[in-house]
Amino acid sequence: MRNILIGGAWPYANGSLHIGHIAALLPGDVLARYHRACQDHVCFVSGSDCHGTPVALRAKKEGKTP
């Protein structure tokens, strides 16, 4: 059993969704599922560097609080 670390980034909150988001996220998901099927210990982490103004603008547009 091996320890596997896979990282992925979320799409920006203020952008529109498009096929590129799938292209960025899908390979990590496939790798994680493969290694889990091989009984490896997988840590698949994700996060975003989108903070501040982009989040505030999107929240305002959607009538929500950041």
Residue 66 lies in a domain: no
- Predicted pLDDT at 31: 95
Contact, 26 vs 62, CB < 8 A? no
- How many folded domains does the chain comprise? 1
- Predicted pLDDT at 34: 97
The SS3 of residue 29 is helix
Q: In the chain, where does DSSP find H-type helix?
A: 19-37, 53-61
From first to last of its 66 residues, the chain has per-residue pLDDT tens of: 999 999 988 777 666 778 877 888 889 999 999 999 999 999 999 877 666 777 788 889 999 987
The SS3 of residue 53 is helix
Residue 43 lies in a domain: yes
- What residue numbers bound the domain in which 42 lies? 3-61
Contact, 61 vs 24, CB < 8 A? no
